Structure 1
Amino acid sequence: IPPWPPRVSRTIGELLAPAAPFDKKCGRENWTVAFAPDGSYFAWSQGHRTVKLVPWSQCLKNLKTPP
């Protein structure tokens, strides 16, 4: 079993099926995420050959801003 979290950051180009917490399967779908080395984006694959890039650094800023 590979260590979790991985010792080396995965890049967006390396969307591999993980061995743990981000792996969700529902029917024939497979959810997978991979973070950019600098943490600015993450790629989210919902299966069905669809990959979405999410600006993670912007999401973190929004989470840290009080209402």
Structure 2
Amino acid sequence: MNWHRIRPPFLPPYSPDLNPIERPWQYLKSHYLGGFITKDSEALADNLEESIRDLLNRPDQLQFVCPHP
């Protein structure tokens, strides 16, 4: 690939501090989805939607999970 003298920065393979979505996913997995097992993608989507709705109704937790930069 010809980058025209542009050097992309090195990013480690796993860098949660550089990826803002990691913190909300970590919270959802540990508080809502940790023990949830299914082969049905619709059930997973429903559970995830319910989890996100619950989180959105808890401003104290939402502020912790998604701090404003």
Q: TM-score range by the shorter chain?
A: under 0.3
More strand by share: 1
Which has the larger Rg?
Answer: 2
TM-score by length of 2: 0.24
TM-score by length of 1: 0.25
